[in-house]
């Protein structure tokens, strides 16, 4: 089969590799129908993560089950499934609590040991605990949107959950004012999610006019492309002194500093991107404003049952986030397009 292989900085290739075979009784073999390039794929691509040549690429995948091991109970050949970007057993203490990214057997697609999402086939371990079955009859043209459940959409949802959108704030009333810092795929997903969880004032802050326009379509009530102190002042004005929920969807020191500056005293800042270059921590501001900080790798499997049906039915239309399509052979172009910010999300469709 063909699969994406990391060969070095800014060098991801599509190569011929061995077809996967069942290894453990809880494995499945899945034929991939949708994959994608993620913002976090760009860290190794740009040489900022310790990756080795030969490692397999991609952690986001949707596909059709071809074969299952003897111990698989809930998934059958022919099922169309979305895989969580982190694989999990579904039965340990953390999986049962909805924190599948802390599964005691947790492992990720791609890298040194596993097939990646960017390929034709994948050996998918612990399939019962790692995938969500797409409802029968979901139209083909909704697959790009459904595939976003594998990571970005539900990572944005996690940002909104961690920030406490819709939960009681310090006055006991549900938090309805949210600020999203960042206009990438996760930031846009956080906007959608804040709306879903009941926010009525949603401010999206970013630097790309066309993405902010999309943020407005997806539920942002205000958008802004200001920077630095001007941005802080504007956001504090808009929120009458700060937002109770602030979602940091960039993953840099500057974005964290902005997030806590514009948080309301007693509010919460959440962060869901893989942190890089966050070495300066605005501890004094967190301290003086009693702002809570919650961060973490999203347990997307936990949210699939909650959000998936509305995406599959089209009731929640997030297809605009899946902005560009590439074939598997065009994978190097898909990486370049993401790297150069020419697209919000590169969807990869094997032939
Ligand atoms: Zn991802
Ligand atoms: Zn587990």
Residue 351: how many CB atoms within 10 A of its CB? 7
For residue 123, the model assigns a pLDDT of 98
For residue 280, the model assigns a pLDDT of 78
With a cut of 70, say whether residue 192 has pLDDT above it.
Answer: yes
Those residues with Cβ within 8 angstroms of residue 210's Cβ, 6 or more apart along the chain or in another chain: none
Which residues hold their Cβ within 5 A of ligand 2, which is an ion?
A: 88-89, 92, 95, 103
For residue 267, the model assigns a pLDDT of 98
For residue 277, the model assigns a pLDDT of 65
Q: What is the pLDDT of residues 17-69, one digit of tens each?
A: 999 999 999 999 999 999 999 999 999 999 998 999 999 999 999 999 999 99
Q: What is the pLDDT of residues 256-305, one digit of tens each?
A: 999 999 999 999 999 998 777 667 788 899 999 999 999 999 999 999 99
Would you say 227 and 238 are in contact if contact means Cβ atoms under 8 Å apart?
no
For residue 253, the model assigns a pLDDT of 86
With a cut of 70, say whether residue 183 has pLDDT above it.
Answer: yes
Q: Which ligand is nearest to the CA of 185?
A: 1
Which tokens hold the place of 50?
A: 């310790």
For residue 168, the CA-to-ligand 2 centroid distance in Å is 30
For residue 313, the CA-to-ligand 1 centroid distance in Å is 23
Which residues hold their Cβ within 5 A of ligand 1, which is an ion?
A: 38, 151
96: which strand partners? Answer: none
For residue 274, the model assigns a pLDDT of 79
For residue 231, the CA-to-ligand 2 centroid distance in Å is 42
HEC letters along 100-148: HHHCCCCECCCECCCCCCCECEEEECCHHHHEEECCCCCCHHHHHHHHH
Q: Which ligand is nearest to the CA of 61?
A: 1
Q: Which ligand is nearest to the CA of 35?
A: 1
For residue 70, the CA-to-ligand 2 centroid distance in Å is 19
Domain boundaries, the chain: 2-151+299-349, 155-295
Q: Return d(Cα 108, Cα 117) in angstroms, integer.
A: 10
Does the structural domain 155-295 have CATH classification 3.40.50.10860? no
Q: Which ligand is nearest to the CA of 26?
A: 2
Which tokens hold the place of 194?
A: 């804040």
For residue 113, the model assigns a pLDDT of 94
154-192 per-residue burial string, b: 16 or more CB within 10 A, e: under 16 = bbbbbbbbbbbbbeebeeeebbbbbbbbbbbbbbbbbbb
Q: Which ligand is nearest to the CA of 94?
A: 2
For residue 325, the model assigns a pLDDT of 97
For residue 313, the model assigns a pLDDT of 97
With a cut of 80, say whether residue 254 has pLDDT above it.
Answer: yes
254 compared with 99, residue with greater pLDDT: 99
Q: Which ligand is nearest to the CA of 116?
A: 1
Total residues found in the chain within this entry: 351
Q: Which ligand is nearest to the CA of 107?
A: 2
For residue 44, the CA-to-ligand 1 centroid distance in Å is 13
Q: Return d(Cα 290, Cα 295) in angstroms, integer.
A: 16
For residue 107, the CA-to-ligand 2 centroid distance in Å is 10
In whole numbers, what is the pLDDT of the chain averaged over residues? 96
For residue 288, the CA-to-ligand 1 centroid distance in Å is 34
Which tokens hold the place of 334?
A: 């898909």
pTM: 0.96
Q: What percent of the chain clears pLDDT 90, i.e. is strictly above it?
A: 95
With a cut of 80, say whether residue 124 has pLDDT above it.
Answer: yes
For residue 333, the model assigns a pLDDT of 98
For residue 152, the CA-to-ligand 1 centroid distance in Å is 6
CATH number of 2-151+299-349: 3.90.180.10
For residue 87, the CA-to-ligand 2 centroid distance in Å is 9
For residue 59, the CA-to-ligand 1 centroid distance in Å is 6
For residue 144, the CA-to-ligand 1 centroid distance in Å is 14
Q: What is the pLDDT of residues 100-109, one digit of tens each?
A: 999 999 999 9
Which tokens hold the place of 37?
A: 């390039």
Q: What is the pLDDT of residues 132-176, one digit of tens each?
A: 999 999 999 999 999 999 999 999 999 999 999 999 999 999 999
Q: Return d(Cα 209, Cα 215) in angstroms, integer.
A: 10
Q: Which ligand is nearest to the CA of 40?
A: 1
Q: In what order do the strands lie in the sheet with 177-181?
A: 222-224, 201-205, 177-181, 243-248, 263-271, 292-295
For residue 278, the model assigns a pLDDT of 66
Residue range 78-97: mean pLDDT, rounded: 98
């Amino acid at each position: 089969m063909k699969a994406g292989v990391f060969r070095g900085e800014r060098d991801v290739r599509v190569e011929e590799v061995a077809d996967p075979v069942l290894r453990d009784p809880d494995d499945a073999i899945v034929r991939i129908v949708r994959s994608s390039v993620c913002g976090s794929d760009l860290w190794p691509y740009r040489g900022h993560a310790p990756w080795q040549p030969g490692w397999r690429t991609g952690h986001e995948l949707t596909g059709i089950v071809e074969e299952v091991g003897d111990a698989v109970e809930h998934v059958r050949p022919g099922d169309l499934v979305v895989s969580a970007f982190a694989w999990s057993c579904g039965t340990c203490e953390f999986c049962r609590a909805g924190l599948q990214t802390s599964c005691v057997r947790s492992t990720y697609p791609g890298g040194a040991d596993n097939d990646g999402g960017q390929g034709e086939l994948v050996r998918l371990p612990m399939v019962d605990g790692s995938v969500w079955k797409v409802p029968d009859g979901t139209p083909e043209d909704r697959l790009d949107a459904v595939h976003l459940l594998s990571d970005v959409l539900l990572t944005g949802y996690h940002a909104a959950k961690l920030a406490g959108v819709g939960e009681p704030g310090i006055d006991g009333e549900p938090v309805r004012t949210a600020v999203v810092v960042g206009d990438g795929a996760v930031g846009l997903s956080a906007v959608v999610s804040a709306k879903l969880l009941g926010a009525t004032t949603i401010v999206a802050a970013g630097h790309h006019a066309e993405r902010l326009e999309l943020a407005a379509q997806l539920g942002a009530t205000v958008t802004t492309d200001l920077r630095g102190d001007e941005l802080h002042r504007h956001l504090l004005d808009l929120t009458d002194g700060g937002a109770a929920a602030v979602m940091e969807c960039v993953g840099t020191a500057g974005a964290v500093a902005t997030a806590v500056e514009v948080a309301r005293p007693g509010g919460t800042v959440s962060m869901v991107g893989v942190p890089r270059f966050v070495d300066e921590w605005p501890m004094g501001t967190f301290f003086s404003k009693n702002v809570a900080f919650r961060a973490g790798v999203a347990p997307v499997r936990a949210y699939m049952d909650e959000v998936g049906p509305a995406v599959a039915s089209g009731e929640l239309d997030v297809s605009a986030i899946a902005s560009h399509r590439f074939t598997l052979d065009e994978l190097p172009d898909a990486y370049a397009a993401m790297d150069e910010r020419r697209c919000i999300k590169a969807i990869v469709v094997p032939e």
